[in-house]
Structure 1
């Protein structure tokens, strides 16, 4: 069973789809001709738990209420979803960004570098294709320490 700690999310189906992509190893190697288009800006950072696959860890990812898989972030935004992206860029890709939740030039530059590494359009905008191609940190439920990135 999948559980979301933040009570604002309304769609367990979206969580399942996202986790199957993140945890199931189905990561996009390159964008398709019919690339996913995000509908809404990401507005929160979600602590995603998967009690079936790995009950001792969680991932902290950007999401929008009601749909974890289809949101976007870009320069100028400021919220906890940006903080989740910054934390992951630091944790899994070795950047040293301030996790202040402000999507500025340094966050954009780091994201462009990562987009080039993972083979998606390097435009500095975070959306479904970038999310699916990136690796995400797994954190210990007990200690909060990073366990791995996958």
Structure 2
């Protein structure tokens, strides 16, 4: 019984030590993108006289400062995939599913734009990636918010 008690104490100490180390790491880790407001589960039209572009956005408030990553689905992914295909020549399906091919295409586009190439769609991607432009009812190429 004494050996069993000693093992339990050692496991408890090791568990406490691991929890404190991991807890400290989690507590001190900064938010990856504090300005990002929510998941890109929709899209929003940004317009000006005579033209517009459709960008990934949050459905609840239309903010384009949103995030997507591997496994995301929906209208925001559709807009991203369409833009990666049209503006960057990506050979991907526009299927509303952020999978391996979408991530690879996003990394290529991020690299081309000189931003963090991590395969995660966030504030940098929203601001710097190109989106399909429609001017006077015609597809007129691609442009960014910059």
TM-score for the superposition, normalised by structure 1? 0.67
Q: Which runs of 5+ in 1 are unaligned?
A: 1-34
CA distance in 2, matches of 1:119, 1:108: 16
Name the counterpart of 2:42. 44
Q: How does 1:72-87 map to 2 (within 5 A)?
A: 72-87=67-82
Shift of 1:67: 4.8
Q: How does 1:113-132 map to 2 (within 5 A)?
A: 113-132=108-127
Q: How does 1:83-98 map to 2 (within 5 A)?
A: 83-98=78-93
Shift of 1:123: 0.9
Shift of 1:39: 2.7
CA distance in 2, matches of 1:66, 1:45: 10
Q: Which runs of 5+ in 2 are unaligned?
A: 1-31
CA distance in 1, matches of 2:65, 2:54: 16
More helix by share: 2
**3-state DSSP of counterpart to 1:92:** helix
Shift of 1:59: 0.5
CA distance in 2, matches of 1:48, 1:133: 15
Name the counterpart of 1:58. 52
Shift of 1:83: 0.2
Alignment of 1:105 with 2:100, yes or no, is: yes
Shift of 1:49: 2.1
Shift of 1:45: 1.8
Tell me which of the two structures has the higher relative contact order, counting C-alpha pairs closer than 8 angstroms and 6 or more residues apart: 1
Computed over aligned residues only, the root mean square deviation of the Cα atoms, in angstroms, reads 1.9
Q: Which runs of 4+ in 1 moved over 4 A?
A: none
Among 116, 125, 132, the alignment partner of 1:137 is 132
CA distance in 1, matches of 2:136, 2:116: 33
